Amino acid sequence: MNSNAIGTGQVDILIHSIENKSDITTHTHYDTGEVNGLRFSYYDDFDKIFKVCTLTDSEKWKFHELMRTFYTAKEAMEMSYRGGSHVTTNPQVI
């Protein structure tokens, strides 16, 4: 790999982030995360939260599609594991 593939400043930031991961004080999830009432999972809100973003509009739509697909699959797998949605304490499955 060409050592000049990314700028030195970017490498310094990446190395700093990896070496100083203890300075991370919080994290959030795509489906529930919000900043000042704006939700990460809402396309229009995403643009308001991340005013400077290197993704194109097409890439942002792909990102949202993938994230929602992951969360939908996660919910389906959890339901399959539990044997139902368990809305009630005694579901009668046919």
Residue that wins the pLDDT comparison between 12 and 83? 83
Cα-Cα end-to-end distance for the chain = 58
CA Rg, the chain, in Å? 20
pLDDT tens-place string over residues 46-94: 888 888 888 888 998 998 899 899 999 999 998 888 887 777 776 665 5
Instruction: Taking residues 14-31, report their average pLDDT.
Output: 66
Residue that wins the pLDDT comparison between 63 and 9? 63
For residue 15, CA distances in Å to 5, 10, 12, 43, 82 come to: 15, 9, 5, 31, 42
| Structure-token pair, residue 44 | 């229009």
pLDDT at residue 62, rounded to an integer: 92
* pTM for this entry: 0.60
C-beta of residue 43 within 8 angstroms of C-beta of residue 60: yes
pLDDT at residue 93, rounded to an integer: 59
